[in-house]
Amino acid sequence: MGSAESPNKPPTKLAALASPAEGPSDGRAWQDLWSFKMVLGVWIPILAIGLLHYGVDAEHSWAHNVLRRLYHLPIIFAAFGLGMRGGLLAAAVVSLTYLPHAFLHIGHLAHIDPAGPVEKALEIVLYNLVGAVAGYLADAERRRRAQLRKALDEQRSLQRQLVRAGRVAALGEVVAGIAHEIKNPLHALSGTAEIVDPLIDEDAPQRRMWDIHLTELERLERIADRFLSFASPSPLEAQQLDLREVAERLVELVGADARKKEISVVTDLPDGPVLVQGDRDQLAQVALNIALNAIRAIGKQPGTIRVSVEADRPYHGTPMQSLRIENDGPPIPPEELEHLFDPFHTGNEEGTGLGLSISQRIVEQHDGYLEAANAGLGVTFAILLPKS
């Protein structure tokens, strides 16, 4: 899904909202030991070599020599499959299998390996050494591959970011031109409307049409303003502020509208301040954009919006100050999440589709991230900002 992506920032797939702390990526589990591959490549060969080894007559020293060395194969296989842990475990199993055969007389059915005791002891040491070295090499290779994959992902994300930035810049120029052209005649229209308005009587049959005219004029003005703030963003006036104040102001701003629509707005704020360097008005605009979208998404039925603030929320390994706005409306389809922050992407007839795009840019100007996911109450938007 779309979100803040920049060269120096972590990739922002918004699923991170659901669990902001990074989980272990290399989760090779205990069950892997019993995977089909391991059973076939490690455990069955060890068993087979062991049985043969115990069964071969002591006179056939060549066979003992071969079988003793064959044990290395499953050890190496385990090391390459499961790394150092796998290599050492297989080496331990082999050592324990071979040890009685090397040094104990276990009755006439099991023959002792005829090699010298030093050679046999060295072989056991070698099993463990091979397990450790092969495992170490496999782990190093795996780490290198993971690094390469990460670098490739970052490169792709940067590429997408550049393409997107280019597209937004080009769009910005077009939109600025249109907004500018619309603004001037709109200004004139509003001026004349103000003069004409008192001339139309409240009871006149033309009044209804005139009211529609005024409403549409206002709508056009709103759209032109949206276009302008997309095309030419205002510079930040950053100061130290408490995110709890942004949350409280948001609740005041949307409270009345929400109550009318039977939507309860609940807050979850910490006792202490959650400080950031930010532009009070622009951050309030971001929160308001998100909350208005949430009200619209909940629709006609009663619902809940939860506004929560949290300090030091882990985000890709960095503690960030977070302001989350959740709603219990329907989830956003995954294919829409991908384009949520694209300019002019809208699912609503009245909207311009610029609200989230503008919001994202404002948050990015604060060196923060704006993320959305189907999480929390239903849909969650999180504004993550660096600590002040």
Residue 135 engages ligand ATP in binding (rule: CB under 6 A): no
Binding-site partner at residue 353 among Mg ion, ligand ATP, none, CB < 5 to 8 Å by type = ligand ATP
Q: What is the nearest approach in angstroms of ligand ATP to the Cβ of residue 223? A: 8
Instruction: Name the residue nearer to ligand ATP (CB basis): 82 or 340.
Output: 340
Distances (CA, A) of 184 to 165, 221, 225, 298: 29, 10, 12, 36
Instruction: Name the residue nearer to ligand ATP (CB basis): 89 or 373.
Output: 373
Kindly determine how many residues on this chain lie close enough to bind ligand ATP according to the rule CB under 6 A: 21
Residue 289 engages ligand ATP in binding (rule: CB under 6 A): yes
Residue 14 engages ligand ATP in binding (rule: CB under 6 A): no
Binding-site partner at residue 159 among Mg ion, ligand ATP, none, CB < 5 to 8 Å by type = none
Task: Answer for the pair 307, 263: CB distance below 8 angstroms, yes or no.
Answer: no
The single residue among 20, 355, 368, 376 that binds Mg ion, judged by CB under 5 A, is 355
Build a one-symbol-per-residue string for 147-166: x at contacts with Mg ion by CB under 5 A, - elsewhere.
--------------------
Distances (CA, A) of 375 to 216, 323, 345: 36, 14, 21
SS3 of the chain: CCCCCCCCCCCCCHHHHCCCCCCCCCCCCHHHHHCHHHHHHHHHHHHHHHHHHHHCCCCCHHHHHHHHHHCHHHHHHHHHHHHHHHHHHHHHHHHHHHHHHHHCCCCCCCCCCCCCHHHHHHHHHHHHHHHHHHHHHHHHHHHHHHHHHHHHHHHHHHHHHHHHHHHHHHHHHHHHHHHHHHHHHHHHHHHHHHHHHHHCCCCCCCHHHHHHHHHHHHHHHHHHHHHHHHHCCCCCCCEEEEHHHHHHHHHHHHHHHHHHCCEEEEEECCCCCCEEEECHHHHHHHHHHHHHHHHHHHCCCCEEEEEEEEEEEEECCEEEEEEEEEECCCCCCHHHHCCCCCCCCCCCCCCCCCHHHHHHHHHHHCCCEEEEECCCCCEEEEEEECCC
Region 187-246 residues binding ligand ATP, contact defined as CB under 6 A: 226
Q: Which stretch binds ligand ATP (CB under 6 A): 64-72, 85-93, 239-247, 350-358?
A: 350-358
Residue 261 engages ligand ATP in binding (rule: CB under 6 A): no
Residue 343 engages Mg ion in binding (rule: CB under 5 A): no
Distances (CA, A) of 90 to 30, 55, 103, 212, 271: 13, 21, 20, 80, 54
Give the integer Cα–Cα distance in Å for 6 and 278.
Answer: 19
Cα Rg of the chain, angstroms? 34
Q: Which stretch binds Mg ion (CB under 5 A): 229-237, 272-280, 307-315, 351-359?
A: 351-359
Build a one-symbol-per-residue string for 248-287: x at contacts with Mg ion by CB under 5 A, - elsewhere.
----------------------------------------
The single residue among 282, 293, 321, 322 that binds ligand ATP, judged by CB under 6 A, is 293
Kindly determine how many residues on this chain lie close enough to bind Mg ion according to the rule CB under 5 A: 2
Residue 327 engages Mg ion in binding (rule: CB under 5 A): no
The single residue among 20, 329, 368, 376 that binds ligand ATP, judged by CB under 6 A, is 329
Binding-site partner at residue 301 among ligand ATP, Mg ion, none, CB < 5 to 8 Å by type = none
Residue 287 engages ligand ATP in binding (rule: CB under 6 A): no
The single residue among 175, 228, 269, 379 that binds ligand ATP, judged by CB under 6 A, is 379
Q: What is the nearest approach in angstroms of ligand ATP to the Cβ of residue 329? A: 5
Build a one-symbol-per-residue string for 297-316: x at contacts with ligand ATP by CB under 6 A, - elsewhere.
x-------------------
Residue 385 engages ligand ATP in binding (rule: CB under 6 A): no
Task: Answer for the pair 99, 158: CB distance below 8 angstroms, yes or no.
Answer: no
Q: What is the nearest approach in angstroms of ligand ATP to the Cβ of residue 290? A: 7
Build a one-symbol-per-residue string for 286-305: x at contacts with Mg ion by CB under 5 A, - elsewhere.
-------x------------
Which stretches of the chain bind ligand ATP, using CB under 6 A? 226, 289, 293-294, 297, 327, 329, 332, 340, 345-348, 351-357, 379
Which residues of the shown chain bind Mg ion in the complex (CB under 5 A)?
Answer: 293, 355
